[in-house]
């Protein structure tokens, strides 16, 4: 595991950005493991969903979807709706294994308890 050195506000900002991106990616993987969706539908779900209420612009969403697809964590199927063609995304078996691994690490190493104890101080 890589150790991050935080020696300045700039370092802290980089770590913060990586953490937010990782949480965002994990949410996308989880949401698409529950239901296949196209990008706009996923953005709407995140804006109006029950778990998270965040407005995500297309300029943020689509690069993340493309990145997760390149990594093999997401797949997509092209569908036509009238004149429109959409990519309907889903979590691949590799993506589902990634979710399980992250969950296992979070719970097995006692990180969950430590995380919430620290956050609630």
Would you kindly state where each structural domain of the chain is located, as residue ranges?
Answer: 10-119
pLDDT at 39: 92
pLDDT band at 18 (very low <50, low <70, confident <90, very high): confident
Chain segment 89-118, per-residue pLDDT in tens: 999 999 999 999 888 877 776 666 676 666
What CATH fold (topology level) applies to the domain 10-119? Arc Repressor Mutant, subunit A (1.10.10)
Positive or negative, the Cα torsion across 29, 78, 37, 59? positive
pLDDT at 11: 76
Positive or negative, the Cα torsion across 98, 102, 107, 112? negative
Phi (first) and psi of residue 85, to 5 degrees: -115, 130
Q: How many helices (H) and strands (E) does the chain have?
A: 5, 3
């Amino acid at each position: 595991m890589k150790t991050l050195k935080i020696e300045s506000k700039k370092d802290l900002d980089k770590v913060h950005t990586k953490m937010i991106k990782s949480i965002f990616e994990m949410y996308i993987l989880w949401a698409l493991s529950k239901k296949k969706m196209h990008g706009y539908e996923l953005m709407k779900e995140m804006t109006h969903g029950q778990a998270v209420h965040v407005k995500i612009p297309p300029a943020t969403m689509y690069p993340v979807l493309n990145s997760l697809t390149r990594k093999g964590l997401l797949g997509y199927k092209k569908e036509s709706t009238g004149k429109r063609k959409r990519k309907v995304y889903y979590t691949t078996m590799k993506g589902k294994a990634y979710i399980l691994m992250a969950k296992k690490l979070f719970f097995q190493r006692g990180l969950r308890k430590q995380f919430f104890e620290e956050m609630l101080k």
